[in-house]
Amino acid sequence: MTASFTVRKHLSDDGVVRLAVGGEVDLSTGQALRHLIVNAALQRPTRLIVDLGQVTFMDSTGVDALVTGRAVALEHGAAYRVTNPCSVVRRALEVTDTLAMLTGDGPAALQLQRGTR
């Protein structure tokens, strides 16, 4: 049985957009996530947060959506952060070497912050 895919959008008074994602992010839902993240970034928030706290699975399609969303957000002047990845999602981000870039976590984060990578 496939877990349902959900995204809830929250906008704060200070211009922060938080997308709370749930379920499985895979080939059948990754494009929808990408579209939602890009559209949120195009609204020029001060910060775009993608909360993966309720995501139970993510494949490379989901990772691509997160990376593309980051590029669009930064291009439009918004800070971007992915938060709360579960262990399965965290592992997908580690394997694709995107954990530090997207979350600011992991051993490479200190290298990125110091500019030594």
Domains and CATH numbers, the chain: 6-114 (3.30.750.24)
Element (H, E) at 2: none
CA distance 41 to 27: 22
What pLDDT, on a 0 to 100 scale, did the predictor assign at position 105?
76
Q: Is the pLDDT of residue 108 over 90?
A: no
CA distance 13 to 81: 18
Q: Is the pLDDT of residue 114 over 60?
A: no
Single pTM value for the model? 0.87
At residue 111 the predicted structure's pLDDT band, cuts being 50, 70 and 90, is very low
The number of residues making up the chain comes to 117
pLDDT tens-place string over residues 44-77: 999 999 999 999 999 999 999 999 999 999 999 9
CA distance 84 to 26: 18
| Beta pairing, strands 6-11 & 16-25 | antiparallel
Give the CA distances from residue 1 to residues 23, 24, 95, in Å, rounded to whole numbers and listed in that order: 11, 11, 26
Element (H, E) at 97: none
Tokens of 38: 């890009």
Nearest-CA neighbor of 32 among 3, 70, 62? 62
Tokens of 3: 């877990």
